[in-house]
């Protein structure tokens, strides 16, 4: 038996099977069910307060919805594609259980404001979960940064050895990025957390509704103040997906580094076996699959952003069926991001750092050349001149196959007579780090100060 459509009275023939499948959204929007019920209960409570629904009707709706919810949670609920979407499936089952009261629920409401409300409720919960997971990943990066607040590694520009930094400092760069990501999510939440319900199909309703009361029942900060806008715009979803794309881009960059660092050619780190896989043909292989997949999945989330922006761009006001297409990209964005953050927090705890390899790379790259130039500047040499002096010294050291710190004082003095014995303190990686002792610098003391600042922020 086919479930009859709510509007069947207007039509002389049923939609074709293909059209039914093509236009139905229940296969994916059924995951909104709990939020749909939450929204319906608030709507019914408000209608009752407004004198539109009787006490008996609301009591029946509450009782019936509790059963529907139980059916859904236990997997007993039978979703019907004939009923198109989550909203009509839930409403029909409610009516099957409680009769006419179920049919009165949709008074003063449309699926247009209903679905916009459901998505906002759902997205708000996702954002809250994401903000918590970002904090967990930050904590795992902070732990690693703390263990390696003094560990010297080469800092790179153009992927060439540039200046020594600490591994802790490098990890803190990602803590900063993720901090902004959490700020963006929290900011986006403010615009998500407004109530569309009451806009009805597009123009509002003739019933004496109290939208602020519904908003309060659902924990919304405010109502959407224009009914046409409330049912039609999905900018909040676009904004969320943009914020999610940035998190994925940040994690993709970190992934790229982990992959590079784990290459035997670099050998800066190892990643615990539980995050890697082997090769079916090459017995020696251990592949960093998780970071590679994160790098790949960032493309998928950015793709969803493009999908949603494109979905919106040519829609006239107000609601159009196009908007049904917002759900799959949005759901997949949140799912992908949540899984990625979860696995990443765990994976970073499984990273082993190899300080000797990092130090050896620093020593090979003339990483303290800028320190020598700064040293000469402090002795009165103009920076451009000292830059040239050091370039010549580097060229000499390179021809000898040694580091700057390996050159005899006499040799160094051939490049500038201002150089004295104390130069060796700045030519070591540790000396170089210690001198960058200001807010945001890589000196171990500054790295520790930043770790403490982040920990206090996360605890507060
Ligand atoms: N499934 C629809 C969506 O996701 C619900 C709203 C349908 N409204 C309508 N007038 N057909 O957007």
Examine the domain organization and report whether 32 and 128 are in the same domain: no
Examine the domain organization and report whether 184 and 264 are in the same domain: yes
Examine the domain organization and report whether 186 and 258 are in the same domain: yes
- Tell me what pLDDT residue 252 has: 98
Examine the domain organization and report whether 334 and 369 are in the same domain: no
The range of the structural domain enclosing residue 246 comes to 112-150+166-202+224-359
* Pocket lined around ligand 1, Cβ cut-off 6 Å: 25, 29, 85, 111-112, 115, 319, 321, 323-324
Reported as a single tens digit per residue, the pLDDT across 377-422 is: 999 999 999 999 999 999 999 999 999 999 999 999 999 999 999 9
- Tell me what pLDDT residue 2 has: 59
Q: What angle do CA 306, 309, 314 make, to 5 degrees?
A: 130
Examine the domain organization and report whether 302 and 419 are in the same domain: no
Q: Atom 3 in ligand 1: which residue has the minimum CA distance?
A: 324
Active site (annotated) includes residue 279: yes
Examine the domain organization and report whether 250 and 132 are in the same domain: yes
Q: Is 153 exposed, middle or buried (0-12, 13-18, 19+ CB in 10 A)?
A: buried
Reported as a single tens digit per residue, the pLDDT across 5-31 is: 766 788 899 889 999 999 999 999 999
Q: Where among 331, 359, 387 does a domain terminate?
A: 359
Q: Where among 344, 359, 374 does a domain terminate?
A: 359
Number of domain units in the chain: 3
The CA 193 to ligand 1 mean position distance, Å, reads 20
The CA 198 to ligand 1 mean position distance, Å, reads 16
Catalytic residue, from 158, 280, 399, 438: name it. 158
Quick one: CA torsion of 265, 266, 272, 278, rounded to 10 degrees? Answer: -20
Reported as a single tens digit per residue, the pLDDT across 295-344 is: 999 999 999 999 999 999 999 999 999 999 999 999 999 999 999 999 99
Pairing of strands 222-223, 152-157: unpaired
- Tell me what pLDDT residue 281 has: 83
Region of 279 (left: φ > 0; alpha: ψ -120 to 50; beta: rest) is beta
Question: Which ligand 1 atom minimizes the distance to the CA of 327?
Answer: 4
Q: Where among 327, 359, 391 does a domain terminate?
A: 359
């Amino acid at each position: 038996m086919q479930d009859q459509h709510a509007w069947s009275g207007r039509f002389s023939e049923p939609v074709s099977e293909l059209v039914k499948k093509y236009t139905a959204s229940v296969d994916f929007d059924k995951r909104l069910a709990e939020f749909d019920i939450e929204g319906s209960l608030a709507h019914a409570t408000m209608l009752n307060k407004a004198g539109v629904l009787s006490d008996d009707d609301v009591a029946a709706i509450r009782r019936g919805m509790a059963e529907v919810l139980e059916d859904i949670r236990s997997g007993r609920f039978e979703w019907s594609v004939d009923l198109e979407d989550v909203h009509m499936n839930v409403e029909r089952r409610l009516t099957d259980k409680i009769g006419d009261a179920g049919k009165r629920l949709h008074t003063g409401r449309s699926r247009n404001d209903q679905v916009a409300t459901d998505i906002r409720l759902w997205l708000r919960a996702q954002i809250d979960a994401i903000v918590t997971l970002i904090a967990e990943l930050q904590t795992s990066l902070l732990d690693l940064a703390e263990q390696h607040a003094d560990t010297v590694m080469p800092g790179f520009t153009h992927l060439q050895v540039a200046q020594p930094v600490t591994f802790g400092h490098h990890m803190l760069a990602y803590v900063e990025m993720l901090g902004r990501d959490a700020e963006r999510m929290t900011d986006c939440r403010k615009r998500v957390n407004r109530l569309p319900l009451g806009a009805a199909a597009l123009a509002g309703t003739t019933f004496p509704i109290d939208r602020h009361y519904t908003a309060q029942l659902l924990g919304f900060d405010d109502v959407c103040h224009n009914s046409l806008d409330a049912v039609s715009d999905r900018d909040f979803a676009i904004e969320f997906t943009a914020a999610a794309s940035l998190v994925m881009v940040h994690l993709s960059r970190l992934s790229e580094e982990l992959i590079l660092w784990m290459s035997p050619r670099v050998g800066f780190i190892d990643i615990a076996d539980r995050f890697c896989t082997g090769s079916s043909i090459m017995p020696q292989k251990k592949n960093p699959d998780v970071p590679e997949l994160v790098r790949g999945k960032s493309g998928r989330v950015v793709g969803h952003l493009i999908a949603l922006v494109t979905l919106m761009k040519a829609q006239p006001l107000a609601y159009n069926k196009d908007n049904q297409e917002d759900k799959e990209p949005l759901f997949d964005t949140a799912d992908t991001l949540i899984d990625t953050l979860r696995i990443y927090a765990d994976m970073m705890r499984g990273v082993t750092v190899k300080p000797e390899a990092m130090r050896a790379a620093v020593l090979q790259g003339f990483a303290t050349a800028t320190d020598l130039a700064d040293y000469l500047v402090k002795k009165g040499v103009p920076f451009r001149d000292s830059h040239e002096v050091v370039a010549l010294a580097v060229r000499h050291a390179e021809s000898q196959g040694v580091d700057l710190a390996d050159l005899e004082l006499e040799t160094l003095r051939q490049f500038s007579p201002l150089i004295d014995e104390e130069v060796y303190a700045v030519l070591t990686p540790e000396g170089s780090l210690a001198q960058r002792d200001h807010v945001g610098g890589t000196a171990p003391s500054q790295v520790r100060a930043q770790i403490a600042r982040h920990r206090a922020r996360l605890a507060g």
